[in-house]
Structure 1
Amino acid sequence: MSRVVVKVGSSSLTTPDGHIDPQRLAGLVEAVGGARQRGDDVVLVSSGAIAAGLGPLGLPERPRDLATQQAAASVGQGALMAQYSDRFARLGLAVGQVLLTVDDVTRRGHYRNAHQTFAKLLELGIVPIVNENDTVATSEIRFGDNDRLAALVAHLVHADLLVLLSDVDGLYTAHPSEPGSRLIASVASDADLAGVDIARVGSAVGTGGMVTKVEAARIATAAGIPVVLTSAQNAATALEGQAVGTRFEPTGKRRSSRLLWLAHASQTKGAVLLDDGAVRALTQRGASLLAAGITGVDGTFSAGDPVDLVAPGGGVIARGLVNFDSTELPSLLGRSTADIVAELGPDYDREVVHRDDLMVLQRP
């Protein structure tokens, strides 16, 4: 038995005018149901709430303004789940809705609770259906975020495979319509993507395109999870384990959820500027960040917030959870820990960022 996370975008579930296509949804359910009948655990990350709300609201096409998008998502979430529930019930399977945002999945305080929820649903034989909580989004709703959300969910549930379903059958060297464009069957590292044009591959309904799918693949494979990217029509073939679409091979090993969160999903609150010595200590020796190696502070943050750690040239070389407020740090810059403790007391005997709370993103 294996555990698979399947992500499907709006463009793979909708008609050309943006409404949910019952036949496409039924095909997806049949593929997922087949995997469940073989004994696999499956978590479905599904876009489509806004599209499902268009019909009940009498909207001819996907709205452009945020308020109407949120209204459509509010109506559509229930309608979409009703369709999924009906289709899965025909296969003898029950579903459970899990509404998440990237923030919900990646905040450390919520991670354990979310993991336990998924574990219990899967133990009970339920098919969890995950969607970004578009109804309460505070910025422009972007379906592409569900690609990254799916990668984080795959890590959260300890998946053996992430399947990203698109409206194209894999990753091509250029837009599939261009002469000479060819399917890339396997990606073992970023070197295999050199020269690949992914910017123009997208659809009228889902706004993520290939860019967010490749980024999602990077997140999952860096955590040791292989990824298959293919079309929704190939869902059953992919879930049967057959070679289809583009397979991204793992590039790293499973890491703690906190470090994955820092590397790929944290919204940093500010930046800490480093000197060359601090950059070497962090990237070459795996050391903690001390005040002695800091040259400046940018932004407003509190102790415990994620911050970017910036090299002298301006590049972000790491992210970490800072142990001081932005108002405290300026008076400590360039000073040794011993000097700081001698003046301010034992409460200041701590690293600015401990190495266990730090993720190196690039090495000079």
Structure 2
Amino acid sequence: MNSDKKGVNTVCTHAGELEDKEYKGAVSPLYMSTSYAFEDVGVKRYPRYFNTPNQEALCKKLAALEHAEAAMIFGSGMAAISTALMAFLQAGDHIVLQQTLYGGTYNFAVTQFEKYGISYSFTDGWTVADFEKEIQPNTKVIYIETPSNPLLTITDLNGIAALAKKHGLISMIDNTFASPINQNPIDFGIDVILHSATKYMGGHSDICAGVIVSSQEYMDTVFQSAICFGGSLSDYTVWLLERSIKTMGIRVQAQNDNAMKMATYLEGSSDVENVYYPGLHTHPDYNLAKSQMKGFGGMLSFELNSDIDASSFFKHLKLIKPSMSLAGIESTVLSPTKTSHALMSAEDRQKQGIKDSLIRFSLGIEEIEDLVQDIEQAIAKVKSMAVPV
């Protein structure tokens, strides 16, 4: 299938699907074998070599969605991130990382790189100039995340791609928050795309997986590290993920719509101090987000007024779930300081602007009126319990 001429929902549904030649079923068959023939075959297949029939089929779908040549699927987002980083870095190299990063990526950098003789710098901000001033003679990689987790900062994709090419560097992006539905960084010149497929690709809070997408040349380099690190995914989960991606386009669009409505509501609420969502005209990078995103995403963050305790607010929600992950069809909230960024020190969180009062909100597909009502009743209960001064 020529994905360049097909709509995104068609690509989600049909790209990379396996044909059921025996029974003519409508969905890809599942091949569970971990042992394949090696004599008289075109491909010697083995799960850890990322080339079982279901793995290959899913990777074709992933590559098509990100407008890339090749992809690989891993057991988790961090398996994909760590494999990609170690594939392109070695002792003596340096990497520039965006200041606003997912806590797991940040923790990997500060706890692992020094063991392998890799040096690193975090930017002071997320503009192109912030990255350029951190480049050193031995820099090999620039790593960004946009929109970022959890403050939804926006980084200039065209600018970073141009900067990387100017200095002969490899550019990498964590594209999880946007998903391939809202943003395709390869179209802007970014080299390596990373996803926690646990999130929007899985979409139902029941799959753990990660993705690397890039050119065939770069994926050949990734493969050499990947087969050593052993982060492959079981074929049953691969099959489930391929099934889930079929509805990603319509799920993400519904989540985009809900997030925009929710951000607008929260921005107008007297009980909310700050709202972070790139679709709001008040977001400092709204115009940049509009120029490189096809939708503003289903994620936002906000801070309640100081007199409303966030922990009590979580406890009084009835519909929205206080839960660890994101991007499922059900709406969830969490405290980044207690979960996604708990491995960071309080000082480092403060540098990123992550307050204890910050609430990360993953919008699901429920009716927006029901979600707003749940927030209002939870806030009302917290306020009613407050001790008068």
TM range, smaller chain:
under 0.3
Rg: which structure is higher? 1
Instruction: Name which structure has the greater RCO, CA cutoff 8 Å, separation 6+.
Output: 2
TM-score (norm 1): 0.27
